[in-house]
Amino acid sequence: MDFLAKINPLSYGIDALKCTVIGQQEFSLFLDIAVIVATAVVMISGAVFLFNREG
């Protein structure tokens, strides 16, 4: 279960929120933001690719 939590990008978003609100964190804030940005880049790139393929 711990492995699944570490590969889930939502875990990093929640951890970043916990860090900013209550100051408690499991990962570093830099790692949280890096994972969120990397996930967004991959998902947006995939969406653009699929959108261009359809049109």
- The whole model's pTM is what? 0.83
CA distances from 5 to 23, 41, 46, 47 (A): 20, 20, 23, 24
Q: What is the pLDDT, as a whole number, of residue 54?
A: 73
Q: What is the pLDDT, as a whole number, of residue 55?
A: 64
Compute the residue count for the chain.
55
Q: What is the pLDDT, as a whole number, of residue 52?
A: 92
- Give the model confidence (pLDDT) of 4-48 as tens digits: 888 899 999 999 999 999 999 999 999 999 999 999 999 999 999
Only one residue has tokens 């939502």, namely 10
Q: What is the pLDDT, as a whole number, of residue 2?
A: 86
